[in-house]
Amino acid sequence: MRPRFLILSMTTIACLLPIRLIAINIQTVESMAADTLTAGEKLTVEQKLLSEYSHSTTFCKQAGQNIAIRYDLRPFSLTTVSLNGLYEERGNAALAQEGNGEKGFSAKVNSSVVLNQHNRLFGTASYRNGRRENVIWNENSDYSLLYPYVVGDSIGGYMKEEAYQFSGGYTHRHGKWTAGAEVDYRAVIAYRDKDPRPRNVISDLRASLALSRQLGRKYRLGLSVQARQYNQKSDIRYLADKGSTSVYQMLGLGMDYVRFAGSQTSSRYIGSGIGGSIDLLPTNGHGACDGFSASLRTDYFHLTKELPNVNYAPINEVKHTTLSLESAWTHRNREWEYGVRLLAAWQQRTGIENIFGDPTGSAYPKISSVAQYKNHTLQAALKGMIGQRPDGARRWGWTLLPTASYGQTKLEYKGNGRYVEIASAHGGLEAQSLWKMSGILLSASLAGGYTANVKSGYSLTGLDSKGSVSTTLLSNIDYLSDGHASLALGLRGDYAVNDRYAVFLSAHWLHQEYSRCGGTDRIEVSLGVTF
């Protein structure tokens, strides 16, 4: 019970910062000099929401991860409290290790507070309770972070999850300089109350420091550094009379660590990471990105998998490097806003297998290491924007967002020459509309697109196509290489109760239709208050 008690204690702490931010927000929103458009004209909650609906700010998404840059993206206090529900059904169009369905609910608080013209606070807190369906060949959580080195079996089943997350940040501006710091903590308990019964306990801590400086009248240059510490402990139990089944230490592309197959039902993952960014943001004094922006970010993460029952032998390691570049140009005036954004990303993931000699007592001496698993990924995306903003006497606005992207990935297991190579191209268009009427903001969006397979090939030397793990691998390849069409619909209504408070209700639906794998549906609903 101690890990659960620790997580609940951290959750209590997590709630304190956003609640404190809300209290500060309520006490100071009347007197904030920064919450003004012009001298003597205070921003209403409706005006703040109209600013939030602007797409020019979201075009600086990567640069906004720098907390010193974020100082300029929202020049007013705003807090959102929401309750959210999620339902997803994917059928055969899913990675087996992540399940083919999800349902759950969450509660979230997001707050930013302008204390005065020199100091700002940011904070979030959330709780999520959900369940993933039909997870096989993976008894761990955070598959996208651990793969391919998970503990797997052919039985699997549903996975229940409780997640707690909070973050807090502070920025200070002095002259042309802005400095900031931010801490983010996530805790997860995942389990199944049916054999096999995994219990995963996760702690994930991130911290960042950032600095920015005004360059002339138009631009701000920022630097940031980030650090991360990750831990996951997993244990599998069997309580049914029929006893336990074999579990496997997976190595990728259908391979497993034969020496440790069978009864090693406990695992521990320890990871650490470091990263940094250089960011350039246009600033015009109103919090909008208006002009050319750019952000170059790199991250490195190292993960070690240990088996506690064999003296914590470190059987696998992962080295993951990411490099991403985002550049954008936007322009907005009283009536129009338009822009274009280019995002390019490169990832390299290397998996290392440690080889051990005969044990001496309970110790397994490591005699060599082999980099067997490789995964290279390239992505490029181009997004445009053009639209009219509701302003003054005009109560209706619209936006068109065309997108085009290309991605390719190659997975290799060098020991037997296995590989999978997939490339795809995507094109789509999203149309959004916003109506303003008597304290009510109504927004609607409709998006459609198609993802086409450009290249698909694999070689799986020695694979037994009739085995469970082989069937799962081939099913995953079919899904990842399958072309599909998508259709999304979103609706949201905000009602301003008065100048300070607004309530909102939103719903989003996404349907994907795959050529071979069938259809998927995802529905999200939210109810909340903004002030």
Which has the minimum average pLDDT: 20-34, 92-106, 330-344, 451-465? Answer: 20-34
What contacts 101, CB < 8 A, 6 or more positions away?
A: 88, 89, 90, 94, 132, 133, 134
pLDDT of residue 465: 83
Residue ranges per structural domain of the chain: 2-530
- Per mean pLDDT, which of 61-75, 378-392, 440-454 is the most reliable? 440-454
Residue 349: count of CB within 10 angstroms of its CB: 20
182-224 pLDDT, tens per residue?
999 999 999 999 999 999 999 999 999 999 999 988 899 999 9
At 479, list the tokens: 């899904």
Which has the minimum average pLDDT: 141-145, 147-151, 398-402, 435-439? Answer: 435-439
Say if CB 341 and CB 393 are below 8 A apart: no
At 185, list the tokens: 């903590």
At residue 44 the predicted structure's pLDDT band, cuts being 50, 70 and 90, is: confident
pLDDT of residue 23: 39
What is the three-class DSSP state of 516? coil
State the DSSP code for 44. P
Task: State how far the Cα of 500 lies from the Cα of 372, in Å rounded to an integer.
Answer: 58
Mean model confidence pLDDT for the chain: 89
Q: How many residues does the chain have?
A: 531
DSSP string of 202-224, one letter each residue: EEEEEEEEEEEEEETTTEEEEEE
| Alpha carbon of residue 238 to chain centroid | 33
Task: State how far the Cα of 125 lies from the Cα of 316, in Å rounded to an integer.
Answer: 34
309-321 pLDDT, tens per residue?
999 999 999 999 9
Residue 5 has pLDDT above 70, yes or no: no
At 457, list the tokens: 């090939």
pLDDT of residue 243: 72
pLDDT of residue 288: 59
pLDDT of residue 334: 77
User: What own/partner pairs with CB < 8 Å and gap ≥ 24 does 299-302 have?
Assistant: 299/226, 299/273, 299/274, 299/275, 300/273, 300/274, 300/275, 301/145, 301/228, 301/230, 301/271, 301/272, 301/273, 302/271, 302/272, 302/273
Q: Which residues of 462-495 are buried (b: 16+ CB within 10 A; e: fewer)?
A: ebeeeeebebbbebbbbbbbbbbbbebebebbbe
What contacts 46, CB < 8 A, 6 or more positions away?
A: 436, 439, 441, 494, 496, 499, 502
At residue 240 the predicted structure's pLDDT band, cuts being 50, 70 and 90, is: confident
Residue 426: count of CB within 10 angstroms of its CB: 17
DSSP string of 99-113, one letter each residue: -SEEEEEEEEEEEEE
pLDDT of residue 360: 81
Does residue 73 or residue 4 have the better pLDDT?
73
Place of tokens 């020049």: 75
At 282, list the tokens: 């246009």
pLDDT of residue 285: 54
The pLDDT of 412-427, averaged and rounded, is: 96
Task: State how far the Cα of 529 lies from the Cα of 45, in Å rounded to an integer.
Answer: 11
Torsion of CA 47, 48, 53, 58, to 10 degrees: 140
**Backbone phi and psi for residue 432, each to the nearest 5 degrees, phi listed first:** -125, 150
The pLDDT of 263-280, averaged and rounded, is: 96
| Alpha carbon of residue 158 to chain centroid | 22
pLDDT of residue 320: 98
Amino acid identity, position 408:
Q
Of residues 362, 358, 364, 324, the one with CA closest to residue 341: 324
Of residues 140, 202, 132, the one with CA closest to residue 160: 132
pLDDT of residue 36: 44
pLDDT of residue 18: 44
Say if CB 272 and CB 304 are below 8 A apart: no
What is the three-class DSSP state of 167? strand
Residue 27 has pLDDT above 60, yes or no: no
At residue 438 the predicted structure's pLDDT band, cuts being 50, 70 and 90, is: confident
Cis peptide before 308 (omega within 30 of 0): no
Burial-class residue 69 by CB neighbours within 10 Å (0-12, 13-18, 19+): buried
Residue 454 has pLDDT above 70, yes or no: yes
Q: Which region holds residue 72: left if phi is over 0, alpha if psi is between -120 and 50, else beta?
A: alpha
Burial-class residue 153 by CB neighbours within 10 Å (0-12, 13-18, 19+): buried
Residue 333: count of CB within 10 angstroms of its CB: 10
Task: State how far the Cα of 485 lies from the Cα of 477, in Å rounded to an integer.
Answer: 18
Q: Which region holds residue 298: left if phi is over 0, alpha if psi is between -120 and 50, else beta?
A: beta
456-512 pLDDT, tens per residue?
999 999 998 889 999 999 999 999 999 999 999 999 999 989 989 999 999 999 999
Residue 7 has pLDDT above 50, yes or no: no
Residue 34 has pLDDT above 70, yes or no: no
The domain made up of 2-530 has a fold known as: Porin (2.40.160)
The pLDDT of 421-434, averaged and rounded, is: 96
Say if CB 191 and CB 199 are below 8 A apart: yes
Residue 141: count of CB within 10 angstroms of its CB: 24
pLDDT of residue 28: 40
At residue 284 the predicted structure's pLDDT band, cuts being 50, 70 and 90, is: low
pLDDT of residue 94: 96
Q: Cα-atom radius of gyration of the chain, to the nearest Å?
A: 25
Residue 344 has pLDDT above 80, yes or no: yes
Residue 286 has pLDDT above 70, yes or no: no
pLDDT of residue 359: 84
Which has the minimum average pLDDT: 235-239, 350-354, 390-394, 451-455? Answer: 390-394
The pLDDT of 400-416, averaged and rounded, is: 96
